[in-house]
Chains A and B, each alone.
Chain A
């Protein structure tokens, strides 16, 4: 393997999971999320020389993914029939949340408008700071804070501070 191959290999191993999940939460479609992940890395491979700072790789990849998803949805606006609701398997079995809790969170997150969902994903899933999110989304840090604040307020209204107390599986 040459240097570029190795670099790419490391990127895929380190970030494909994050990119897939990010795409899933923006597309609500497992097949499309996988396509978008593939597409992201295809483009990343072609543009690898433009990534100077390996520490910035994750943000760089996410930027590619956001662009690909935007491109996809602008092209396919007419045929964006979302036939896929959330299958139970897609919720995942691990973690300390029950399937019911996860479904409730799932629906609550998908019910957020894109402009609120995206910064939330970037913060919680991506681990980016307000300033980094502001750079990626090309909005002011203050606007990012406001959106994050509202997104979490909205989720908390649905979920409560402790989800387990508020999701009545058995009453």
Chain B
């Protein structure tokens, strides 16, 4: 029974993470006699359930029917080539158009700096927040965005995730020299080069990073260059 069992808690924990569907008899026996491993087993299956629920992304409408309809195989292959070609042409038209539009209208309403500024203006309460967020909490919030920022010496008034245009970004407010300063991590918003904002009572910068852009926006009087060097050192030229 128990003495015969060669499996120990460490083995069990390893199996729970790596092969939970295929637990062998000795593992199951161990779970019956070891409450802490039993709890770990419940945790692991709850974790897998949540993972599975996140993995179940929505599927395009009528996918199965589309596949069945295009079963005329060779015809299907040709269609696929045509579709790819069409998609490529359409994409290049969109790209060209957006370049032309942005050249014609430098203040086009879709610019990243406008989006960032509009986001801050839409949430003025975050400039009033004084939540004194801990660095460990900040790290947890920004980790998924995979953008390195360095905030160690400032008080963090607010940190959370927000919908910014099409996707979710991070919204952080720290203490500046003059007034609170907003930092937005925008994974979906790409800019080709560093941009500055000077509008109303705000001054700001948008800095391109590997996987999107980061905005630092503060009071008109604020010296943002110093903050930029500290917060986004890797972008410094």
**Interface residues in chain A, defined as those with a beta carbon under 8 Å from any beta carbon in chain B:** 8-9, 12-13, 16-17, 20-21, 24-25, 30-31, 34-35, 37-39, 41-42, 45-46, 85-97, 99-109, 111, 120-121, 123-125, 127, 129-131, 144-146, 148-149, 152-153, 155-156, 158-159, 161-163, 166-171
A111 vs B59: C-alpha distance in the bound complex, in angstroms?
Answer: 22
A149 contact from B17, B52, B73, B158, Cβ within 8 A: B17
Residue of B nearest to A119 (CB): B18
What per-residue 1/0 map shows which CB atoms of B132-157 lie under 8 Å from chain A? 01000100110111100000000000
- In the bound complex, how far is the Cα of B58 from the Cα of A102, in angstroms? 12
Contact assessment for B57 and A92 in the assembled complex, using a CB-CB cutoff below 8 Å: yes
Asked if A171 and B18 make an inter-chain contact with CB atoms under 8 angstroms apart, the answer reads: no
When distances are taken between beta carbons in the complex, the residues of chain B under 8 Å from A35 are: 80, 83-84
A92 with B19: CB separation less than 8 A: no
**Of B22, B67, B140, B168, which contacts A41 at CB under 8 A?**
B67
Q: Count contacts on B: residues with CB < 8 A to the other chain.
A: 56
Contact of B167 (CB < 8 Å), options: A31, A46, A86, A144 = A86
Contact A88 B168 (CB under 8 A): yes
Q: Which residues of A sit under 8 angstroms from B100, Cβ to Cβ?
A: none
Which residue in B67, B83, B158, B167 is a CB contact (below 8 Å) of A88? B167
- Give the distance in Å from the alpha carbon of A86 to the alpha carbon of B58 in the complex: 12
Give bound CA distance, A143 to B133, whole Å.
41
A92 touches B56 (CB 8 A): yes
Q: How many residue pairs between the two chains, A and B, have CB atoms under 8 Å in the bound complex?
A: 162
* Chain A residues closer than 8 Å to B71, beta-carbon distance: 8, 41, 45
Smallest CB gap from A120: residue in B: B51
- B-chain residues with CB within 8 Å of residue A17 when the two chains form the complex: 59, 63-64
Say yes or no for B122: interface residue by CB 8 A criterion.
Answer: no
Q: State which of B40-48, B107-115, B219-227 sits at the interface with chain A.
A: B40-48
Chain B residues contacting A42 (CB-CB under 8 Å) are 70, 73, 76-77
- Complex Cα gap A58–B58 (Å): 19
Q: Which residue of A lies closest to B43 (CB)?
A: A161
**A-B CB contact pairs (8 Å), 12 listed:** A21-B57, A25-B57, A86-B167, A89-B58, A105-B50, A106-B54, A107-B144, A125-B55, A144-B18, A146-B18, A152-B18, A168-B140
A148 near B66 (CB under 8 angstroms)?
no
Q: Which of B48, B50, B51, B168 contacts A103 (CB 8 A)?
A: B168
Question: Are B161 and A103 touching (Cβ within 8 A)?
Answer: yes
Asked whether A149 lies within 8 Å of B14 as measured between CB atoms, the reply is yes
* Bound CA–CA A8/B17 (angstroms): 35
B53 within 8 A of A: yes
Contact between A16 and B144, CB atoms less than 8 A apart: no
State the B residues within 8 Å of A (CB).
14, 17-19, 21-22, 43, 46-48, 50-60, 63-64, 66-68, 70-71, 73, 76-77, 80, 83-84, 87, 131, 133, 137, 140-141, 143-146, 158-161, 163, 166-168, 187-188, 211-212
Q: Whole-angstrom distance between the alpha carbons of A153 and B76 in the complex?
A: 42
A9→B133 CA distance, assembly (Å): 55
Rounded to whole angstroms, the CA-CA distance of A66 and B8 in the bound complex is 36
Contact B167 A37 (CB under 8 A): no
Q: Assess whether B137 is in contact with A109, with CB atoms less than 8 Å apart.
A: no
Report yes or no: B67 in contact with A37, Cβ–Cβ below 8 A: yes
Q: How far, in angstroms, from A90 to B188 measured CA to CA in the complex?
A: 14
Question: In the assembled complex, which residues on chain A have CB atoms less than 8 Å from the CB atom of B67?
Answer: 12, 16, 37-38, 41
Given A100-B161, A129-B21, A148-B17, is A38 in contact with B80 using a C-beta cutoff of 8 Å? yes
A91 to B168, CA, bound (A): 11
A120 to B59 CA separation, bound complex (whole angstroms): 20
**Cβ-closest chain B residue relative to A14:** B64
Is the Cβ of A161 less than 8 Å from the Cβ of B14?
A: no
> Smallest CB-CB separation from A121: which chain B residue?
B55
Q: How far, in angstroms, from A91 to B18 measured CA to CA in the complex?
A: 26
Residues of A within 8 A of B48 (CB): 124
